[in-house]
Chain A
Amino acid sequence: IQPLAHVESEDFTNKTLTSSDEEDHNEAPTEAKRSKKGDAAVDDSNVLYHPVKLSRSDLYRPPTAEELNQLKEAESLFHCNLLKMQMEELLKEVALSERRKKLIDSFVQRVTKLLEAVPETAEVEISDLSWLSGSAKVPFLLLPQVTKGKFHMAPPSSVDPIGSYPLGTCIKPHVVVDLAVTIPANVLHPKDVVNQRYPRKRALYLAGLAQYLASFSDLGPMRYSCLHGNRLRPVLLLIPPGKDSRSSFTVRLHACPPPGFFKPSRFHPLRNNIRTEWYTGLQTSNSEGIEPPTPHYNSSILGDLLPKAHLQFLSAVSSQCPAFADGVALLKVWLRQRELHQGAGCFNGFLASMLLAYLLITHRISNTMTAYQLLKYNIFVAKDPDSSAPSLAEFHSAFQVVFVDPSGHLNMCADMTACTYKQLQHEASVSMQFWDDPTVDGFYSLLMTPKPMIRTSDHVFQLCELVKLQSSCKKLNLLSELMDHSGDYIHTTLPLILSLLQQGLGQRIQLLTHSLCPDPEWSVSNEPPKYKTQPPISFGLLLRPELATSVLERGPPADSPKAAEFRQLWGSRSELRRFQDGAITEAVLWEGESMCQKRLIPKQIITHVLKLHADIPESCLRYVGATVDDVIKKGSEVPSTGEEESLVVVQAFDDLSRKLWALEDLPLSITSVQGAHPALRYTQVKFSVLFSHLLICHMEGSGKWPHDRFAIRHIRAAFHIRMGELLKKHHNYSYKPCPTHLDVWKDGLAFRIQVAYHREPQVLRESLTAEGMLVVRDNEEAQALEMATIHKPLLTSTLHGLQQQNPCFGAVCRLAKRWLAAQLFSDDITEDTADLLVASLFLQPAPFTPPGSPQVGFLRFLCLLSTFDWRNNPLVVNLNNQLTGTDYTEIKNAFMASRESLPVMFIATPKDTKQSMWTKRAPSIQMLQRVMVVAAESLKVLELQLMDGTQIQDVRVVLRPPLDAYDALIHMNTNQVPLLCHAVDPPGVNFKRGVITGNAKASSGVLPVIDYNPVSLYLTELRDAFGDLALFFCDPFGGTVIAVLWKPKAFIKAPFKTSQASARSVEVTGDEAKTFPNVSAILEDFRILGKGLVKSVEAKTEKWSF
């Protein structure tokens, strides 16, 4: 395979070179693309990375001028030419193939031919639908029922392709080809703009077309949809017949008036085109002629008049700039990954092209730039707040976001909410931040990582039962706006709801986003769906972690004029309060004692504000901000997710460390007291007085220390005794000295102090050879000691610092580790590894922002686990930001050079760039694969549950591992399992043994039983005895089952060897002795070794095949 792969890559290189040349001239790059497509199909999927070996003659041959240029361009334009190549590859992936283009062209031709033969019908009243047979309904909600005017069908005056397809900016997937069908002038009347006459005629025309086309068999099933979710602008979707046609492409028919049929000035944003009298059906009292303006209605009709002009404009621009199409394609991918590309009020591909064109004609960017630069500047401009809104004040008064088209009459962002625009700006500024950051893989973060709302926003809530919004329309007094939106109460109320939320949440949030309602689609034989059938609208909050959890909303002083406004906003919740600084101000106090309750304060605010001002009952809200937190929640009166317990432990540790420093009668002084336990960095999952917290106490170096490993061990023991005695004497702590550690019982918490001497690892490494030469050889013992006494404490203090900056870091770690443990992975992905993985989410969040809630952090943790390419990339966790761009390259190069010998999961930290010490032992490649699969599945299930209220709501589903994959299960007696109350599904009956009731601090006399964990002792024995034959899995937090998996290799019959006879029986054939595991005896040993603990051993013999 190897030489073949090599040849192919060689081939590929040549083509990249040619295509990058052509890129600039934009001449027939398609041909190269096509041939490459073929290549990709042939390409062997398991090509391995081999370090490049160029022959000397290749490397040192004299360069041609062209090659020099190329190398230089690649170096200067992009911080890594890899990025350039990646973008080219991406463009190839999304571009339409020639084959598909031919299919599209022939289909469009066929449709055009059919359309030209539409028969004429007799003239009828608009409201008379009798000429339509049942096969096609009118794609329009006829409210109010009647409007004046005549209508008849007639063949279209022209059928033209518009939009992205003729421009060449159309990309996969969901290829949509737009066809403008011009309604002949005699069907319309210049006065038709009033009272929805024109929109209705347009809908009727489409229905007529649908009815006519239904009789032809060379079309697939037809459907209606509407343009960008605007019900006034229905479109007819056509697909070619056949099975896989749906995925291939869709032709969208737009019915348009003849160009220039209506006068554009009629659609001025301040003009009215829907009469209140007609709309309400009532004779209104104020018939003085002051009708409210209908800007949205106007722009929806105006939009129909201009598509051809827009196409001309864009094609003129793109002919000037060769990379225009590629730039738009990249921008479209960028938007799609951010879920901004479709729905009502989206920033669609058309707007993207327009923005790019605007930048080109205003010479903000030059015509000769490559696609890459175009994308960059585009995003850069989008970041700039007001550049995309060059407009009249009148536009601004009517719309939230303004982007005027070349004709000067149409606001192309009419339906966009201010929040969507802010989201776009936010995304753009985040993208710019990491664009040039050499420590981030820009390409992946920019274009390849999807950003669904549930993974992007810290908290998400949904408005279900949208029909309730009708009442809020009334409450907010929005009749004229409702008229403007032609009855679409959702989009009428949405801007107001958003501004309400923005006011209520204020400084607590950075950004408020909302989902864009997807374009509804329905079959032509059905009535158009009602507004209430729309899926729930989701809102995303990006929290400011430092402010979001504050329980107090402090308002203005009672006598200030702003106080009334404050009272108006909060209603009865606002009360006068006197503060410590003497001020008396209006204030709102929210409920929340523990951190996990405080995190839900935004929920309280939202519920209150929406109920008070928009009449939206709490039952309509589905708040999914902290649903996943349940799995680590403990405590019945004040539920807590562990922040409070962590704080108690850390405070006790600080106190103990101060007391240790103060000890005077020690022979050597203490140089450092460091925590080396997850609880001391706020990431401990379980809190139980039954387990001790490890801390490392370094003693000063001195000539008095012996230079001998055994002697050091004894001296340490002596220190343990002395320290214990002193602590007892001065502070009356109970203690238990051991050769390896000292257990201290302090205020109801157990601490395990381990004395360390910084030269001990060195002493362990030294040995004398027979010749008396002193050699230093690394060994496992020394590494383990260094890990325990140097690296773990360092990691603990670093992560402790991270927690101070990100208040929810600990909670994310707890969730992640709870999940790993429940899925029986905690032995493969250790606590330290998991903490590091979570830390990487906070240190390098691109393309996101650092997680602001445990839930979103946990989802991203699962995403990281399931999608990170461990095979080809090192995960760099830049603790304390110590690594620079060059360090990253070095790490990557070193990693690539010796990939085979490195751990499968490679995590580099500033202190450890070459070895990945935390993942050296585990996981194995098989386990990592399993972790990835399970993580992907869990993520899928969780996100579906969180975003869809109709699913079964039980997040613990992702914590219940499938046990049928294992070969044997060892069930344990629940009364012997510690931490049973931390189990995923805790049993009803709880054993209270060993739990100190009442005031724990008072009982300082006797040392309680600590660190006695029969399950872990049992697991150690099992692994010691049968580690060669099987893997053992267990949930350390209250799991009552140990799952056993035989190692397939161990069950291959092997010749008898003295080194491999453990737990094996012999079979003699001839004069050959072969061994194989003695399964029945092993199963019995499971019972014997765990006597008293094991309830039953369930052997799944049906699974074994040896």
Chain B
Amino acid sequence: MASSKRKHGSGQTCVIPGGFSVLSLKFSSDSAASHSLYVKEHRVRAQSHSGRPMDRTLFVLNVPPYCPENVVKELFSQFGSVQSVELKDHPSSSPDSGPRLSKIFRPAEKQGFKVGYIVFQNASSVSAVKSHAFDVPLVVQTKERPVKTGVQKWIQQYTESFIPKEKLQKDVDDFMMDYDKRKEKAEEQQRKEAEEQQEEEEGWVKVTRGHKGTKARPHSEVANKKTLQKEMKKKKRKELMNFYTWQHKNTQKEHIAELRKKFEEDKQRIALLRAQRKFRPY
């Protein structure tokens, strides 16, 4: 770190091979040491989701654990107004799928260093960040913006873990209502399809492909395996064992081979133990 600082001089931006600009970040103004944030404009091959427009999104690496989303948002507001901040454990292409869960039902997050996607209002802010001087550190905690860490934070967490019973009940009810609705919809869909498969008056069945990704009958891996096994069993039952002389001979041969193999195995085990000097009784 020290060497790169010298190289680029004061008041300059620091860009490393790979296209990342380095910003330094201090917890408070009197902190002695600083972390480095690595920032770059967000760029992916295929625009997969609309939450991260390529021109206005900044990709940030190495966001320390004491910077939650709101802090990051405020930190970067000095470069232009921030539309949204997304913090992830790893660089990932898309946000979570699945139904929306209320905050209390989400599983606890890992509190480590994060990767951030910051979406600005204007594309110019991205380049403003990238050209920010390396030796002017961003400061997390200021007088106006106290950040709780350590004991204070844990006490706050503990207090927050008391959820009013009514709120919890309401969340549950809301979700279940939503779930029931979704389920009903799916059932409706299935019923419709089933109806379509019904015989028409003249005994003809109309075969349709249905929607993409759905099948008339849900197949499962387990069911597939079961049928396979059944067939194998049937085959086996038909075979005769120990009927012919050669079969009998074979089983005997197998038995001796088995004994031999065990003998060899034991011997090898002993050789191993011997090599480790495991036979010294004292």
Contacts and interface: CB of A to CB of B under 8 A. Distances in A.
Interface stretch (A179-187, A189-197, A473-481, A1012-1020): A1012-1020
A738 B280 CA distance: 59
A1056 B16 contact: yes
Interface in A18-68: 40, 43-50, 52, 54, 58-60, 63, 68
Interface residues of B, number: 88
B111 interface: yes
B189 interface: no
Contact of B150 (A54, A80, A774, A1088): A1088
Interface in A983-1012: 1009, 1012
Contacts of B263: 71, 74, 81
B269 A337 contact: no
Contacts of B281: 90, 93-94, 333, 336-337, 447-448
A89 B162 CA distance: 67
A601 B190 CA distance: 76
A336 B115 CA distance: 65
Contact of B169 (A336, A718, A1073): A718
A52 B150 contact: no
A313 interface: no
A310 interface: no
Contacts of A717: 105, 168, 171-172
B3 A774 contact: no
B165 A721 contact: yes
Contacts of B265: 52
Interface string A1063-1098: 111111001110000101101110011111110000
Contact of B256 (A63, A737, A1021): A63
Contacts of B27: 1084-1085, 1088
Contacts of B104: 738-739
A1014 B154 contact: yes
A166 interface: no
B271 interface: yes
A1020 B153 CA distance: 14
Interface stretch (B60-68, B125-133, B191-199): B60-68
Contacts, number: 261
A9 B38 contact: no
B226 interface: no
A158 B56 CA distance: 109
Interface in B152-181: 152, 154-155, 157-158, 161-163, 165, 168-169, 171-172, 175-176, 179
B214 A85 contact: no
B17 A1062 contact: no
Contacts of B1: 1065-1067, 1078
A154 B105 CA distance: 101
A1092 B151 contact: yes
Contacts of B33: 1078, 1080-1081, 1083-1084
A52 B219 CA distance: 42
Interface string A1007-1039: 001001010011011001111000000000000
B169 A721 contact: yes
B62 A773 contact: no
Given A9-B271, A336-B282, A1058-B91, A1024 B65 contact: yes
A976 interface: yes
A90 B279 contact: yes
Interface string A85-100: 1100110111000000
A1012 B7 CA distance: 49
B184 interface: no
B172 to A, nearest CB: 5
A448 to B, nearest CB: 6
B88 to A, nearest CB: 11
A12 interface: yes
Given A717-B168, A1056-B17, A1061 B61 contact: yes
Interface string A558-585: 0000000000000000000000000000
B233 to A, nearest CB: 22
B111 A8 contact: no
A714 B176 contact: yes
Given A336-B281, A1078-B35, A737 B165 contact: yes
Interface string B269-282: 11111111011111
B247 interface: no
A450 interface: yes
B38 A1061 contact: yes
A713 interface: yes
A259 interface: no
Contacts of B150: 1018, 1088-1094
Contacts of A736: 161-162
A776 interface: yes
A706 interface: yes
Contact of B279 (A93, A1014, A1021): A93
B268 to A, nearest CB: 6
Given A738-B163, A774-B219, A1020-B111, A44 B275 contact: yes
B62 A1061 contact: yes
A1025 B267 contact: no
Contacts of A1066: 1, 4, 16, 22, 36, 38
Nearest to A47: B275
A59 B257 CA distance: 5
B207 interface: no
Given A71-B259, A90-B279, A54 B264 contact: yes
Given A736-B162, A774-B221, A1067-B1, A1091 B152 contact: yes
A235 to B, nearest CB: 23
A1067 to B, nearest CB: 6
Contact of A40 (B65, B105, B222, B274): B274
A663 to B, nearest CB: 17
A123 interface: no
A778 interface: no
B4 A771 contact: no
A937 interface: no
A97 B90 CA distance: 65
Contact of B151 (A52, A1061, A1078, A1091): A1091
B203 interface: no
Contact of A1025 (B22, B111, B169): B111
Given A711-B176, A1058-B61, A772 B221 contact: no
A506 interface: no
Given A774-B218, A1062-B113, A173 B282 contact: yes
A386 interface: no
A738 B22 contact: no
B245 interface: no
Contacts of A1062: 62, 112-113
A81 B22 contact: no
A280 to B, nearest CB: 45
A85 B265 CA distance: 12
Given A63-B256, A1021-B65, A1092 B282 contact: no
28 contacts: A9-B271, A48-B272, A58-B260, A60-B253, A71-B256, A71-B263, A89-B270, A89-B279, A336-B282, A450-B282, A711-B176, A714-B175, A736-B161, A739-B168, A770-B213, A776-B222, A1021-B111, A1026-B112, A1058-B61, A1058-B115, A1062-B112, A1065-B36, A1066-B1, A1066-B22, A1067-B1, A1067-B4, A1085-B65, A1089-B150
Interface of B: 1, 3-4, 7, 16-18, 20, 22, 27, 31-36, 38, 61-62, 64-66, 90-91, 98-99, 101, 104-105, 110-113, 115, 149-152, 154-155, 157-158, 161-163, 165, 168-169, 171-172, 175-176, 179, 183, 213-215, 218-222, 253, 256-257, 259-276, 278-282
Given A1081-B34, A1091-B150, 12 more contacts: A8-B271, A9-B268, A52-B264, A59-B257, A82-B269, A85-B266, A336-B281, A774-B218, A869-B278, A1009-B158, A1027-B112, A1084-B32
8 interchain residue pairs of minimum CB distance: A1091-B150, A1092-B151, A1062-B113, A774-B220, A1080-B33, A1065-B1, A59-B257, A1081-B33
